[in-house]
Structure 1
């Protein structure tokens, strides 16, 4: 028996190598929301992931984003103050320990990418921060951000997709809406109807104030929307909260994040009297592309669509917060791009510090273990 076990164990490296070769193609055909056998299955060809708890770059474009620099007059901003988006209002603030998922940050305060709203508005402009994805070919997908909002009343923080003023999908947070026990997220789509109403979506079916059972400024939570032909569904920490089905966007655009104020009492309120920030710990986007070269590359690596070569996107079902006693566990979420090249074939992998890795085992590891256990069971049964 032991000679057979010895032979079996001796064969394991070859078996593992063979399994590794199979799993190298694990994500060749893309990424799915839900199981490929599920009723709500949706598959996407491309991804863009950012681990901002560990990202150290000289220029944020290395991470797939561009800081937006421009001014908006008070008249155009439709408030008592104008808006001034500046480069220095986007600040990288990674963890000091690149091998950890919680702890002290390089610049103090909340770790992650910080988007600042400035307290000095003496010149009639309120300093804010905005970023747009380098990629402008995003059409349908699942889009997720983990962030902690400002605790100072008078700002608007947002995560959104944008094509133009009549095709936009937003998750917006007004810090004035946070009270002692709960908060809210404004689920908004700018549509042809909102343009008719003076760019005010609140008078249309594409607007929903969604109450939250927590304050978004107390810790990091994940906010998500899944955009498909004919629908947009919104989620908080993996739980579905609302669906919109009218005037759904049909063109490709970019992802955005911003944090701003213009003093409008009907929206942002404020502006704040001191500098205040919102912190983003990750962005995860899984989507289809209108880029011809990228679509051609996808067709080559997935010449014959196979469900076994589609990787299911893990749902984040708890707040991915890096603070507290369990911060090193809860903030350590799954990234395909940190799980080896075989899980991001043909994808743009954006720069992070060396050493950051996923807490969750790779799919290849999850395959090895049953094989090894089965092999030992077989050997000892003989």
Structure 2
């Protein structure tokens, strides 16, 4: 799960019409027992209501490439394919529970396929956010993991093999009523150890009091300059304070197997999917243009123009699936100056025909991702 991706061109900012009173002009605040931070940017993706096949309209670029064995570090290669990312929104465009369009669990499905193993590859799925300027911030995903033994599902930030923050789930680690999550910072030490973080201080396996494939839970990491704190459903799991990443990077999600008995295991006996209900990120951008945009709308820090980021303290499943999105709040404009994507209440960034015609030009850049 180590990535190298060429930088995409920066996207232009879309001004949001001021038809309603604007809040959050000075940012989004995060307060915990020992920390307080204000972040300037956000992205929010609601996959329970994301319809259509063009995920890039929602800010995510599907990946398509092969990693042959033994480069994959397993007996089988990894084959990431665009058609293994399947949107399956709720039929009810305003509700948060009910039937999905394709049947089964609503959300974005990231599939690992069990067929065609004879080709020497296991077919999986991966997507990367179109932005590559994510730095310090709070990163959250609503996710129901795959139940079939023999896959790895992950949500992570990536800058380089030595600067990476991972939440990784191995279905082989599930028990009858529990599971585990692997918390990893890829560091220079892990690179020197052959990309193996397991013997470093930046690796921790934390047991979970539930099976990750039973229902949706929110998995989160808060990245500060001096630490990374991991959460599940708003509760602290673990804190790391060494080798903290310092560079901007990109968000990824993937689901794969290479048959390695020491990690993913598998291959799975049948097709199996990770299902994502949302991704939320509140962060400081590394782009100078984004810094200037924030300074223009907030020339002097004003606490009254900062919006507190709500904590998800229960599993976002069933009646609790309707989590809060600043970008869906129609009472006041809570995303002033933000880069917006399809599905947000106030704007449809990437909806213009002109911009969409440019996106195929970047496909080769994104599909140059490879595993080491």
Deviation for aligned residue 1:58: 3.8
Task: Show the 5 A alignment for 1:318-357.
Answer: 318-321=314-317, 327=318, 329-340=319-330, 342-352=333-343
Deviation for aligned residue 1:31: 0.5
Could you tell me how far apart the structure 2 residues matched to 1:100 and 1:353 are?
Answer: 15
1:156 to 121, 140, 152: 152
Q: Are residue 282 (structure 1) and residue 273 (structure 2) matched?
A: no
Unpaired stretches in structure 2, ≥5 consecutive residues: 1-17, 347-372
Could you tell me how far apart the structure 2 residues matched to 1:195 and 1:354 are?
Answer: 43
1:66 to 58, 61, 67: 61
Q: Could you tell me whether the CA contact under 8 Å between 1:98 and 1:353 is conserved in 2? A: no
Residues matched between the structures, number: 326
Q: CA RMSD in A?
A: 1.6
Could you tell me how far apart the structure 2 residues matched to 1:58 and 1:150 are?
Answer: 22
| CA deviation vs aligned residue, 1:135-156 (integer Å, no higher than 9, x gap) | 0011110000000000100000
1:209 to 180, 194, 205: 205
Q: Structure 1-normalised TM-score?
A: 0.83
Larger displacement relative to structure 2 (170-179 or 345-354): 345-354
Q: Could you tell me whether the CA contact under 8 Å between 1:55 and 1:353 is conserved in 2? A: no
| Rg larger for | 1
CA gap of 1:87–1:47, structure 2 versus 1, over 3 A, is same
The residue number in structure 1 matching 2:267 is: 271
Q: Could you tell me whether the CA contact under 8 Å between 1:57 and 1:63 is conserved in 2? A: no
Q: Are residue 180 (structure 1) and residue 176 (structure 2) matched?
A: yes
Task: Show the 5 A alignment for 1:361-372.
Answer: none
**Comparing both structures, which one devotes a greater share of its residues to helix?**
1
CA gap of 1:39–1:208, structure 2 versus 1, over 3 A, is closer
Q: Could you tell me whether the CA contact under 8 Å between 1:56 and 1:353 is conserved in 2? A: no
Could you tell me how far apart the structure 1 residues matched to 2:49 and 2:286 are?
Answer: 30
Could you tell me how far apart the structure 1 residues matched to 2:169 and 2:235 are?
Answer: 18
Deviation for aligned residue 1:92: 0.4
Could you tell me how far apart the structure 2 residues matched to 1:354 and 1:193 are?
Answer: 44
The residue number in structure 1 matching 2:309 is: 313
Partner SS for 1:348: coil
Could you tell me how far apart the structure 1 residues matched to 2:111 and 2:89 are?
Answer: 16
The residue number in structure 2 matching 1:124 is: 120
Deviation for aligned residue 1:230: 1.2
Deviation for aligned residue 1:348: 2.0
Could you tell me how far apart the structure 1 residues matched to 2:51 and 2:276 are?
Answer: 14
Q: Could you tell me whether the CA contact under 8 Å between 2:151 and 2:267 is conserved in 1? A: yes
Deviation for aligned residue 1:40: 1.5
The residue number in structure 1 matching 2:72 is: 77
Could you tell me how far apart the structure 2 residues matched to 1:106 and 1:261 are?
Answer: 27
Partner SS for 2:198: helix
The residue number in structure 2 matching 1:98 is: 93
Partner SS for 1:114: strand
Partner SS for 1:343: coil
Q: Could you tell me whether the CA contact under 8 Å between 2:141 and 2:220 is conserved in 1? A: yes
1:33 to 23, 30, 34: 30
Could you tell me how far apart the structure 2 residues matched to 1:349 and 1:76 are?
Answer: 37
Q: Could you tell me whether the CA contact under 8 Å between 1:29 and 1:298 is conserved in 2? A: yes
Could you tell me how far apart the structure 2 residues matched to 1:110 and 1:353 are?
Answer: 22
Could you tell me how far apart the structure 1 residues matched to 2:177 and 2:233 are?
Answer: 18
Deviation for aligned residue 1:26: 2.0
Could you tell me how far apart the structure 2 residues matched to 1:176 and 1:93 are?
Answer: 26
